[in-house]
C-alpha cells in the first residue's frame, strides 16, 4: 500500500458506523480532516453545522480553522447544547467555539446562532432556539461523556423520550447543572453525525455506545451509531474489534 507513512489509518466499519481509530497525537488533526472533507463535499447553498462543547473538540476546531477550501461564507453554526451561563463564562460552549473556530475563519456574524442559555426563562430560550434551527441539520458534531451522555442528553433524562420539542432545558449531574440541549428528533434527523472521543476515561462509554446492548435511555450516545466516529486508541481500549 503506497500510503504516506504519516497518513491517517483507513477507517473501518462497525455495523453502520465509520470508525476512525487514531493515535492520541493525531486525534485533533484526524478529527479536523473528516470534518473538512464533509464540509467541502457539500454543494448546498447554506450548510447547517451544530457543534458540541466540552474539552474534547476544542483542538479539533482549532485544527479545522487551518484547513483550506472550506466554504465558511455559506456555513451556519449552531450548537448541540449550552450551559446556563453567560457567553463569556469559561464554561460556555459558545465561548469555546468562538475562540477555537469562529474568530479564526470568515464566518459572517449573522451565521452564528448562539443558544441563549443564560436567560432566566430556559423554556422561552429553548423555544426561541427551536425557531432558529433548520428542519434538518446537515452536520452534527457530538461528544460522549463517561456516562454515555451526548449533547446534554443524560442517561434517564425525560428529554430522551421527547418526540415534539427539538430544543429543551436539561439538568446535568455535573455542574453547570442547568442547560439547553437539542433532543433526539434533531439528532436522528441530522444528515451527518460525527462523534469525537478521546482518552481512556471514555473507553467504557465508547464500547457501550458502539457495541453495547444498552438502549438510548441508558446510553444516549448510542444515537450516534451510523455516523462517523473519530476515537483515539485510548478511548478505544475496550473495543475488541
Ligand atoms: C458539553 C458537551 C457534552 C460533551 C461531553 C464530553 O456541553 O459538555 O456538549 O456533550 O460532548 O460532555 O465532554 P468532554 O469533551 O469534556 O469529555
208 lines ligand 1 (CB under 6 A): no
Q: How far is the CA of 134 from the centre of ligand 1 (A)?
A: 23
- Write phi, then psi, for 197 (nearest 5 degrees): -140, 135
Task: List, for residues 159-173, the tens digit of each pLDDT value.
Answer: 999 999 999 999 999
The CA distance from 116 to 164, in Å, is 20
Top CATH class, 18-137+149-201+210-232:
alpha beta
What pLDDT is attached to residue 165? 98
Confidence bin at 177 (pLDDT 50/70/90): very high
What pLDDT is attached to residue 8? 63
Strand-pairing partners, residue 18, are: 13, 228
Q: How far is the CA of 2 from the centre of ligand 1 (A)?
A: 37
What pLDDT is attached to residue 4? 43
> Per the structure block, which three cell numbers stand in for 223?
444515537
Ligand 1 mutation pick, 56, 114, 145, max ligand atoms within 8 A of CB: 145
DSSP percent split of the chain into helix, strand, coil, nearest 5: 35, 20, 45
What pLDDT is attached to residue 241? 82
Confidence bin at 43 (pLDDT 50/70/90): confident
The CB-side HSE value for 66 (13 A sphere, CA atoms) comes to 10
Q: How far is the CA of 150 from the centre of ligand 1 (A)?
A: 7
What pLDDT is attached to residue 7? 56
According to DSSP, residue 90 is labeled: T
Give CA separation, 94 vs 91, 132, 145, 198, 217, in Å: 9, 16, 19, 21, 27
Confidence bin at 41 (pLDDT 50/70/90): confident
Domain borders along the chain are: 18-137+149-201+210-232
Q: Is 191 exposed, middle or buried (0-12, 13-18, 19+ CB in 10 A)?
A: middle
Ligand 1 mutation pick, 31, 50, 54, 209, max ligand atoms within 8 A of CB: 54
- List the strands of the sheet with 178-182, edge to edge: 81-83, 178-182, 167-171
pLDDT of 2 > 50? The answer is no
Q: Whose CA is nearest to atom 11 of ligand 1?
A: 143
Decide: 99 and 65 in contact? Cβ < 8 Å: no
Decide: 153 and 160 in contact? Cβ < 8 Å: yes
Amino acid at each position: 500500500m503506497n500510503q504516506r507513512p504519516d497518513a491517517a489509518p483507513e477507517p473501518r466499519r462497525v455495523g453502520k458506523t465509520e470508525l476512525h481509530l487514531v493515535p492520541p497525537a493525531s486525534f485533533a488533526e484526524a478529527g479536523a480532516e473528516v470534518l473538512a472533507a464533509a464540509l467541502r463535499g457539500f454543494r448546498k447553498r447554506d450548510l447547517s453545522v451544530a457543534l458540541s462543547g466540552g474539552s474534547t473538540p476544542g483542538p479539533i476546531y482549532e485544527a479545522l480553522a487551518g484547513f483550506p477550501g472550506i466554504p465558511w461564507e455559506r456555513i451556519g453554526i449552531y450548537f448541540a447544547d449550552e450551559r446556563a451561563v453567560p457567553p463569556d463564562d469559561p464554561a460556555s460552549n459558545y465561548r469555546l467555539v468562538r475562540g477555537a473556530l469562529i474568530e479564526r475563519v470568515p464566518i459572517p456574524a449573522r451565521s452564528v446562532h448562539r443558544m441563549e442559555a443564560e436567560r432566566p426563562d430556559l423554556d422561552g430560550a429553548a423555544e426561541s432556539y427551536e425557531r432558529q434551527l433548520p428542519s434538518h441539520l446537515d452536520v452534527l458534531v457530538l461528544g460522549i461523556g463517561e456516562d454515555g451522555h451526548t449533547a446534554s442528553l443524560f442517561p434517564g433524562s425525560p428529554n430522551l423520550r421527547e418526540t415534539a420539542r427539538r430544543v429543551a432545558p436539561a439538568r446535568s449531574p455535573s455542574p453547570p447543572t442547568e442547560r439547553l440541549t437539542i433532543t433526539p428528533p434533531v439528532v436522528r434527523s441530522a444528515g451527518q453525525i460525527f462523534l469525537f472521543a478521546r482518552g481512556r476515561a471514555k473507553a467504557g462509554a465508547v464500547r457501550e455506545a458502539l457495541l453495547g446492548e444498552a438502549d438510548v435511555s441508558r446510553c444516549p450516545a448510542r444515537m450516534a451509531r451510523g455516523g462517523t466516529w473519530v476515537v483515539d486508541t485510548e478511548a478505544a481500549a475496550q473495543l475488541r474489534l
